[in-house]
Amino acid sequence: MNIALIADDAKKELMVQFCIAYCGILSRHTLCSTGTTGKFVSEATGLEIQRFLSGGQGGAQQIASRVACNEIDMVLFFRDSLSGKEVEVNENNLLRLCDVHNIPIATNIATAEVLIHGLERGDLDWRNIVNPK
């Protein structure tokens, strides 16, 4: 499966720790990420990650375009809801596209753990029918 990793600045370390914990599962899938998040995760885990631009430079938009083209099967997007910043148009667009195209998305670690365990159990194998390799 194609899994996208995105993390707001305050959640990057949490994403790194999550990926360290689930490195065995993630290593069996194709990963892509926004630039800085991918750099941190790759350095900490050794996972091979296709890195797009940093989020502020359009990386989240690049991932959103892949979602729209049905090239992403799952999104792990650790958002910082306490930062006080308004939800950006790009974030809303990504969330909307995941809804429109039935892409499982986790916006916090609790939901990410549910998705990663479901992935391991085969609960998301239906994506292979929707997005055959």
- Are the beta carbons of 33 and 50 closer than 8 angstroms? yes
Query: pLDDT tens-digit profile of 53-90?
Result: 988 888 999 999 999 999 999 999 999 877 656 557 67
Q: Token pair of 98, please?
A: 């995941």
State the pTM of this model.
Answer: 0.92
How far is it, in rounded angstroms, from Cα 34 to Cα 39?
9
| pLDDT at residue 114 greater than cutoff 90 | yes
Query: For the residues 11-39, what does the mean pLDDT come to?
Result: 97
- All structural domains of the chain, each given as residue ranges with its CATH number in brackets, are 2-124 (3.40.50.1380)
